[in-house]
Chains A and B, each alone.
Chain A
Amino acid sequence: GQSLEQPSEVTAVEGAIVQINCTYQTSGFYGLSWYQQHDGGAPTFLSYNALDGLEETGRFSSFLSRSDSYGYLLLQELQMKDSASYFCAVRDQEGGSQGNLIFGKGTKLSVKP
């Protein structure tokens, strides 16, 4: 089966940089995604890595190492509005399951002044 591990909580101060790690175990691999969810809100898609390396989108970057089954989300110049939960997700394996997303339990990021 598939499983993802990420820290349950991270705290950082405004303006700092924070890294949220995710390790995964899958029988097949079709990319690692990241989603942000504010309390009581809808998850929103942040990024997707199919190949090794770093993808940058503004203040957010996402990294993948397929050989290590590991990825991370990097948030720079933290702002108070970045306080949210962050989920990593992988696709289910090819075949009858149709490649649905499997989510980690989420990392709650608290940004302090």
Chain B
Amino acid sequence: DGGITQSPKYLFRKEGQNVTLSCEQNLNHDAMYWYRQDPGQGLRLIYYSQIVNDFQKGDIAEGYSVSREKKESFPLTVTSAQKNPTAFYLCASSIRRTQFDYGYTFGSGTRLTVV
């Protein structure tokens, strides 16, 4: 079955460490996105990529980095520069934007906690 796989489901990071969250999709979608969700908040866009080897900053990109070397993969690195990284991270993909909205498909998320 097609879908998006995020790993790990839970991740613990020490202060000052970089960590990488994995996101893989087999839906053949062109576009991929990373969102951050805090309790009681909506989803805020971190980075997005419309095609391979290209990505753009979202609203809260500071302290994060991404790569898009393959269509299927869009890993997110949370760097030590991110001052408050504890959150629920969601990866999504979609067919490249057309006139009609086919919706985003989300992964099951990674819950990152700084210890």
Interfacial residues, chain A to chain B (CB-CB below 8 A): 4, 8, 30-31, 33, 35, 40-45, 48, 50, 87, 91, 98-106
**Min distance, Cβ B30 to any Cβ of chain A, angstroms:** 11
Which of A30, A40, A45, A105 has the most chain B CB atoms closer than 10 A to its own CB? A45
The verdict on A8 contacting B40 (CB below 8 Å), with A43-B106, A98-B56, A100-B48 known, is yes
Interface residues on B, range: 20 to 34
The 3 closest A-B CB pairs, nearest first, are A45-B103, A42-B106, A103-B42
Let me know if B109 and A41 touch, CB within 8 A: yes
Question: What is the CA–CA distance of A43 and B92 in the complex, to the nearest angstrom?
Answer: 9
Interfacial residues, chain B to chain A (CB-CB below 8 A): 31, 33, 35, 40-45, 48, 50, 56, 58, 88, 90, 97, 100-101, 103-109, 111
Question: What is the CA–CA distance of A102 and B97 in the complex, to the nearest angstrom?
Answer: 14
Question: What is the CA–CA distance of A47 and B107 in the complex, to the nearest angstrom?
Answer: 18
A42's partner among B58, B103, B109 (CB-CB below 8 A) is B109
The verdict on A44 contacting B106 (CB below 8 Å), with A8-B40, A50-B100, A104-B42 known, is yes
Question: What is the CA–CA distance of A8 and B55 in the complex, to the nearest angstrom?
Answer: 32
Question: What is the CA–CA distance of A40 and B111 in the complex, to the nearest angstrom?
Answer: 9
Residue of A nearest to B50 (CB): A98
